[in-house]
Amino acid sequence: MAIDRFGRNIHYLRISLTDHCNLRCVYCMAEDMTFQPNADLMQDDEILFFTRLFAGFGFDKIRLTGGEPTVRANVVELVRGIASTEGVRSVSMTTNGLLLKKLAQPLAAAGLQRVNVSIDTLNPEKFKRLTRWGKLEDVWEGILAAEKARLAPIKINAVAVKGYNEEDMVDLAALTIERPWQVRFIEMMPFASATDLQVNQVVTMAQIRQHIESEFGKLEVSNEGRLDGEAQVFHIRGAKGNVGFISSVTHPFCADCTRARLTSDGKLRLCLLREKEVDLLTPLRAGASFEELRRLILNGIWDKPWGHGLAEGFIPLNRAMSEIGG
């Protein structure tokens, strides 16, 4: 078991398969973002080795993310290897959905259990402006393919950005009325790369909730008020699905955090919003023993920061969100 010094059992690993992406969402990266060379990223055998190592400490829940995980060559085989690792109970993915039309079925057959698909508006023009060139229709087809492949329950991630899509949250919430999906609203967080926009164009959860409730009436509590992952969940009266609020900025959920992240270049990141990292890939490539790597991981987890420092004005600037794995 991997326990931190605050007694939290850390058993959920988010692995960034690549920092590369086929979109350039304005709140995530600059249009001229440069990516790391493939040789500096974890190779397939290195990802599988780390998965085995972490699973040995009780990490039973894995989420694959990025960058865009589906642009990684060989992603289906990688998922198969991760899903069949002893001790791994759940494998899910966060994706922009562009390639799901083609990949949903093979990924499900390889052992992927669920997907979260990011879609911030149902307006094709606004979608293009937010992602810089994305076609909404492709993502929609991807979501339907995921549903057909039973990558359920479908979860939709939406980030609201002032001046881009704040009023579109109402249409996204409306998707849950007829569909058993969870639409999750994520408060924008600041990192390197698009920091000005991330700081100045935040829409708070309270504002989003107000928009939704002014259309559909007061939201009702779901999941008996317990968090679902990091989301507080509610539903519109009579809806088949529910809406989630991930208010990392205004209401942090650090006390309940069970996560660690493996960046695409093989660093153990202890908190999304703290710069502290432990390099695992360099020692692995230098021939470190199993025991040495074990120590590095357990000591790193033990020192996991309590929580982020956004309220005190601390912004992690050593990486863009896409490099860490959101």
By CB under 6 A, the residues from 94 to 113 that bind ligand SAM are 94-96
By CB under 6 A, the residues from 179 to 238 that bind ligand SAM are 186, 188-189, 191, 198
Q: How far is the CB of 100 from ligand SAM (least distance, A)?
A: 11
- Write out the DSSP string of 127-165: HHHHHSS--HHHHHHHHHHHHHTT--S-EEEEE-BTTTT
Give the amino acid at 17. Answer: L
User: Of these partners, ligand SF4, ligand SAM, none, which one is at the site of residue 65 (CB under 5 to 8 Å by kind)?
Assistant: ligand SAM
C-beta of residue 48 within 8 angstroms of C-beta of residue 81: yes
The residue among 85 and 322 lying less far from ligand SF4, judged by its C-beta, is 322
Q: Is 134 in the site for ligand SAM (CB under 6 A)?
A: no
| Segment contacting ligand SF4 by CB under 6 A, of 19-27, 107-115, 169-177, 282-290 | 19-27
Q: Is 139 in the site for ligand SF4 (CB under 6 A)?
A: no
The residue among 85 and 118 lying less far from ligand SF4, judged by its C-beta, is 118
Q: Is 92 in the site for ligand SF4 (CB under 6 A)?
A: no
Q: Cis check for the bond before 106: say yes or no (omega within 30 of 0).
A: no
Q: Is 164 in the site for ligand SAM (CB under 6 A)?
A: no
Q: Is 266 in the site for ligand SF4 (CB under 6 A)?
A: no
Candidate list 13, 17, 25, 139; residue touching ligand SF4; CB under 6 A: 25
Candidate list 134, 142, 229, 326; residue touching ligand SAM; CB under 6 A: 326
Tell me how far apart the terminal alpha carbons of the chain are, to the nearest angstrom. 24
Give the amino acid at 93. Answer: M
Q: Is 79 in the site for ligand SAM (CB under 6 A)?
A: no
Helix (H) or strand (E) holding 232: strand 231-235
Structure tokens, 184? 């999750």
Structure tokens, 217? 């009436």
The residue among 52 and 101 lying less far from ligand SF4, judged by its C-beta, is 101
Give dist(CA 51, CA 85) in Å, integer.
7
Q: Is 27 in the site for ligand SAM (CB under 6 A)?
A: yes
Give dist(CA 307, CA 302) in Å, integer.
13
Q: Is 268 in the site for ligand SF4 (CB under 6 A)?
A: no
Helix (H) or strand (E) holding 235: strand 231-235
Q: Is 118 in the site for ligand SAM (CB under 6 A)?
A: yes
Give dist(CA 95, CA 71) in Å, integer.
10
Question: What residues make contact with ligand SF4 under the rule CB under 6 A?
Answer: 21, 23-25, 28-29, 66-68, 96, 118, 322
